[in-house]
């Protein structure tokens, strides 16, 4: 049986290449709105972050996503992202 190719993406915080399933995509759409993209299919400019709460805190502290998406991101969005990543991490450990 033929092995399937695993899509790899780079985490903008740790600069590590990881399988796409181990990352969460953050999207900036045409209207300039920011959203978490769990499917990885939304239109717009995307940036990937590992499903590690420590890396989300680092991105929040250093405003890494602000630089990659070229806009100011609110603390409420970073908190939402942190909660999402924490939830996904807990789900993966079950």
1 pLDDT band (50/70/90 cuts)? confident
**Two structure tokens written together for 72:** 């100011």
58: domain CATH number is: 3.30.1230.10
88 is a domain residue: yes
Distance from C-alpha of 55 to C-alpha of 41, rounded to nearest angstrom:
23
pLDDT in tens, 4-46: 999 999 999 999 999 999 999 999 999 999 999 999 999 999 9
49 is a domain residue: yes
pTM (two decimals) = 0.92
32 is a domain residue: yes
Pick from 41, 56, 49, 3: nearest CA to 23? 49
67 pLDDT band (50/70/90 cuts)? very high
Instruction: Find out whether 35 and 71 touch, Cβ atoms under 8 Å.
Output: no
2 is a domain residue: no
57 is a domain residue: yes
Residues 68, 57, 54, 39, Cα dihedral to 10°: -50
Mean pLDDT on 64-85: 96
- Count of domains forming the chain: 1
Q: How many CB atoms lie within 10 A of CB 61?
A: 9
Domain that holds residue 71: 8-93
1 is a domain residue: no
């Amino acid at each position: 049986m033929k092995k399937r190719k695993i899509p790899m993406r780079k985490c903008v915080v740790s600069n590590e290449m990881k399988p796409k399933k181990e990352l969460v995509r953050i999207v900036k759409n045409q209207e300039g709105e920011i959203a978490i993209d769990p499917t990885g299919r939304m239109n717009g400019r995307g940036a990937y972050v590992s499903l590690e709460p420590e890396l989300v805190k680092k991105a929040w502290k250093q405003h890494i996503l602000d630089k990659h998406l070229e806009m100011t991101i609110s603390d409420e969005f970073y908190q939402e992202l942190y909660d999402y990543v924490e939830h996904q991490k807990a789900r993966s450990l079950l």
